[in-house]
Structure 1
Amino acid sequence: MNTGSISTTTTQRWLYLLPLTAVLIWAINIVVTRYAVDLIEPISISFYRWLIAWLVLTPFMLLKVIRRWQDIRPHLWQLAVLGFLGMVCYQGLAYTAAHYTTATNMGIINAFIPVFSIFFSIFILKIYPNRFAIFGVILSIFGLMYLVTQGNFATLLHGQHIFGDLLMVLAVGLYAFYGIFLQRWQLRLPLFIMLYIQVIFAVLFHIPLIMYFGLDQLNAANAPAVFYAGIFSSIFAAYLWMMAVQNLGSNRTSIFMNFIPIFTAIIAYIFLHEQWTIYHSIGGAMVLVGILLAQKK
């Protein structure tokens, strides 16, 4: 009995590497795509991202989808909703918000994904958070705010980016719904098939948008960022994230989003030689402690 208990505990601990790896990939994506902000429009990079993911996945997934079509067909509307929320709304709105607000504000607002997730879970999943989860979320968000404001919270009152901030609030709210619906529906389909169908819907949903807004051309300057987003961020990270939500739940998984600004700062320190400050150390420690508290049952 003891051996089984140890094995189960070890397995549960390894499951936390799923969301951790996913947010690391997304953090790298922030650094990789930073230089391309002024080189490609938000709707274009969002469309190319999912188009590349579809092209990469199709040779491996098309026959599997055909074989499992009878199982997939009843869940098409659910996969369409997931693709719309997680791949079109969240990504598209985040790319757009970056043109109207600061990275600091986006980082702070992105930290509210766990808050939205826990709040919506009360009504949709009937999951009521314990005191550790509530305190952990509050502490991690406070730590993230301390990190991005360098200890001066007054800077939050002087922002002039209301439109971009509202877009980002809407984006993270919709992404919280993505995690909750993924947990609620518990679709009995292989994860890669679920991902592939969502990618197809993401590409289809983008077509009317690019017909209206237009499509930028790929070039040597913006292509590396687009391909990284299309392969690593859209396929590998998304797959790991869905596995995490299925195994850990949307609340516990979403709290790992708070690692993204910390990972970004570390990567920028290594590759861009940006200064590591006391604010990164204090804020990062608070975020980590908050996440650990939120995982307590």
Structure 2
Amino acid sequence: MSPSLTGLLAALAATVVWAGNFVVARGIAHAIAPIQLNFWRWLLALACLLPWALPHLRADWPLMRRHWRHLSVMGLLGVTLLNTFVYKAGQTTQSLNMALLVPTAPVIIMLLSRILYAEPITWRRLAGMGVVLCGVLTLLSRGDWQHLAAVRFNPGDLWALAGAASFALYSLFVRNRPKGLSLAGYNAATFALGLVFLLPGLAVEVAVLPAPALTVPVVAGIAYAGIGCSTIAYVLWTRAIAGIGPVLAGMVYYSLPLFTAVESAWLLGESIASFHIVGGGMIIAGILFATVDRRVLRLSRPQPRTGQR
């Protein structure tokens, strides 16, 4: 297969795997507490990564010591908070709602970039953000626009938005990854630090809540999240970006709600309501309008190397 086709298939496969994370969050939300689920997920992911990361960790150690603050913030945002919020959301909202709300991160990134880096917000971006906001309000209100002021928002939807904010901050700060620090070492360090930050919450859950029963769904859910979402999907996504570029790969990622809807209906029996279609359509359309430019699309396609046909 051509590199472009391989990249496209890899992006689709990664998105399908990530869609399953929202199904896991909903499917075993009441069988295991969110911090415990997140801890075991990333511990398994770290165990999968370490065989490749150990040589890099030794070489990167002096650089890591100098940049421990940055690594700590990234571990807190990308490991400790993001998926804890998603798994907490799964206790009170549908998988599809989470899959529609979490990808609003690009819009949050624009707002934070304006606040932190004084980056301009063009009329196109502003219009796109307005459409996304309407889509989010449609989901939060369950389509009850006439009584929007009085409606009680589902707590799970707000937790999902908190997860989107965590991912936005992570994406914003990852641009500051220290030069010379390998990607494998960087990920292993953030995984490990994120696990350390989970320990206080884990101790509280273990002390206060009953121990989770290690049923087949719980073990399978942890394995899926740790091996599938944190390891296999990451490898696939890296291959996708190499094949079709980050912008086109990102557009494939916006099909996440579609795959989540199919998987949640098939595995959990969740229904798809009209407000899901309307709100989700506005969110995806607004994000694409605000973030994608036809000139960028042309430039994002990997160019052939000199001498290749």
- After TM superposition, the score normalised by the length of structure 2 is 0.72
Partner SS for 2:121? coil
Equivalent in 86, 93, 104 of residue 102 of structure 1: 93
Partner SS for 2:67? helix
Q: Percent identity?
A: 26
1:119 corresponds to:
111
Equivalent in 149, 159, 162 of residue 152 of structure 2: 159
* Cα separation, 2, equivalents of 1:232 and 1:42: 18
1:264 corresponds to:
260
2:301 corresponds to:
none
Q: Deviations over 1:266-295 (max 9, x none)?
A: 333556676666666555544443333221
Matches within 5 A, 1:186-201: 187-201=179-193
Equivalent in 5, 11, 29 of residue 21 of structure 2: 29
Partner SS for 2:17? helix
Aligned residues: 280
Would the alpha carbon gap of residues 186 and 73 (structure 1) be closer, same or farther in structure 2, given more than 3 Å must change? closer
2:76 corresponds to:
84
Equivalent in 46, 50, 53 of residue 54 of structure 1: 46
Contact persistence 2:39–2:198 (CA under 8 A): yes
* Offset of residue 223 of structure 1: 0.5
1:224 equivalent to 2:229? Answer no
* Cα separation, 2, equivalents of 1:91 and 1:34: 12
Deviates more, 1:17-26 or 1:78-87: 17-26
Partner SS for 1:221? helix
Contact persistence 1:44–1:210 (CA under 8 A): yes
Contact persistence 1:110–1:168 (CA under 8 A): yes
Structure 2, unmatched stretches of 5+, are 297-309
Would the alpha carbon gap of residues 126 and 22 (structure 1) be closer, same or farther in structure 2, given more than 3 Å must change? farther
Would the alpha carbon gap of residues 272 and 153 (structure 1) be closer, same or farther in structure 2, given more than 3 Å must change? same
* Offset of residue 224 of structure 1: 0.5
Contact persistence 2:76–2:197 (CA under 8 A): yes
Deviates more, 1:168-177 or 1:50-59: 168-177
Equivalent in 51, 55, 58 of residue 63 of structure 1: 55
* Cα separation, 2, equivalents of 1:216 and 1:122: 43
* Cα separation, 2, equivalents of 1:21 and 1:290: 24
Structure 1 counterpart of 2:260, one-letter code: T
* Cα separation, 1, equivalents of 2:89 and 2:278: 28
Would the alpha carbon gap of residues 236 and 148 (structure 1) be closer, same or farther in structure 2, given more than 3 Å must change? farther
Q: Deviations over 1:237-274 (max 9, x none)?
A: 45648x97xx859xx99898764433311333556676
Structure 1 counterpart of 2:205, one-letter code: F
* Offset of residue 131 of structure 1: 2.0
Structure 2 counterpart of 1:172, one-letter code: A
Contact persistence 2:101–2:157 (CA under 8 A): yes
- After TM superposition, the score normalised by the length of structure 1 is 0.74
Q: Deviations over 1:12-71 (max 9, x none)?
A: x99898877654432122124432111111111011011101111112211221123233
Q: Deviations over 1:150-187 (max 9, x none)?
A: 6443575422645x555444443333211111124464
1:202 equivalent to 2:198? Answer no
1:40 corresponds to:
32
Please give the root-mean-square deviation of Cα atoms over the aligned residues, in Å.
Answer: 3.8
Structure 1, unmatched stretches of 5+, are 1-9
Would the alpha carbon gap of residues 176 and 277 (structure 1) be closer, same or farther in structure 2, given more than 3 Å must change? closer
* Cα separation, 1, equivalents of 2:57 and 2:109: 31
Would the alpha carbon gap of residues 282 and 175 (structure 1) be closer, same or farther in structure 2, given more than 3 Å must change? closer
Contact persistence 2:138–2:144 (CA under 8 A): yes
